[in-house]
Amino acid sequence: MLDELKKDADSRMEKALAAMSNNFNKIRTGRAHPSLLDGVTVSYYGVDTPLAQVANVNVEDARTLSIKPWEKPMVPEIEKAIMKSNLGLNPSTSGDNIRIPLPALTEETRKGYIKQARAEAENGRVSIRNVRRDVLSDVKALLKDKEISEDEERRTQDEVQKITDKYIAEVDKVLAQKEEELMTV
């Protein structure tokens, strides 16, 4: 029973870390990366569809993304979707190929992105702590129902805290990498 709770805590904390990493991919660094456009949805015959499902997104060079729609009529729709996405990107079209040059980051925008990354990291930490709280409340309920002893409760609390500390340290490590990436010119 307690092992199941610890495994559940571990898997849920892993998911919180993965979600935070996914959010970090959407924060723009100086380099072009297809994951920048993961959140962009295009109106495809009246249905909002992720950009990756209506076009190929490739890195042309370090500061340019190239989008090749599968259907020619989708070019203006994709352009509109990118403009509306609030990513600060201006697509330029040549035929049925869309190029997105990424502007160089200024010191001010870098600091803004670092602030955003720190907020995402804090959200990740909060999610991990919420998992810990849920598991510890389940353990307390087991103690109250006299299904486990007080010693088992304390031991489980310590083990859950160690798991939590491991994931919080991982969040801090990923944040430090992202900050370093953002500050690299």
Going by CATH, does the domain composed of 34-101 fall within 3.30.1360.40? yes
What is the residue extent of each domain of the chain? 2-26+106-183, 34-101
The answer to whether 87 and 26 have CB atoms below 8 angstroms apart is no
List pLDDT tens digits, range 22-53.
888 777 666 777 877 887 888 888 888 888 88
List pLDDT tens digits, range 128-147.
999 999 999 998 998 888 88
Asked whether residue 63 carries a pLDDT value surpassing 90, the answer given is no
CATH superfamily of 2-26+106-183: Ribosome-recycling factor (1.10.132.20)
| pLDDT at residue 185 in the model | 63
pLDDT bucket at 104, cuts 50 / 70 / 90 = confident
pLDDT bucket at 14, cuts 50 / 70 / 90 = very high
**DSSP code, position 37:** G
**Listed residue (77, 74, 64, 80) closest to 30, CA to CA:** 64
Asked whether residue 2 carries a pLDDT value surpassing 70, the answer given is yes
